[in-house]
Amino acid sequence: MYAFGHVFKKQSFLFLLGLEIKKAQRYRNCLSLLSLTFTQLSAPLENRTIPLKTLANVLRHELRETDIVGQAGTNRLLIMLAHADMIGAYKVRERVEQALQHHGFGGKGLTMEIHEVCFPTCPVDDLLRMAASGAPVDHP
């Protein structure tokens, strides 16, 4: 299945994250997670004009076909990067930031906050905490 062809709802995303965590632990692979929180300064969140699915379509060109995107609320996307270490996660973060700047979302009053975490650099609990809340995780 072409994973990015769909933006998963949070419950489905967390289910898939659980499966990928088990695989990463068993086979000692890296697994990174990006949390993208968007705010639109020019309008209240309930009146925002840029839906997350539009943002996800822009991001599609910056991600691999195997990366999984989930919606975690009205203003947050999660991106699961299997087999990506922290360096890979930083590279994706840079590409995401550049893509959104290129498409002019900043000119529409959109701001973005990105946090990343990587297993095994950080424990599994940090991945799950970020998926649940989007809160940044202290890196060792």
What is the value of pTM for the model shown? 0.85
**pLDDT tens for the 140 residues of the chain, in order:** 335 567 899 999 999 999 999 999 999 999 999 999 888 755 544 455 566 677 777 888 889 889 999 988 878 889 999 999 999 999 999 998 888 888 777 666 678 889 999 999 999 998 898 888 877 776 55
What CATH number belongs to 3-132?
3.30.70.270
Q: Give burial (CB, 10 Å; 0-12/13-18/19+) of 83.
A: middle
Q: What are phi and psi of 10, to 5 degrees?
A: -55, -45
Pairing of strands 68-71, 76-82: antiparallel
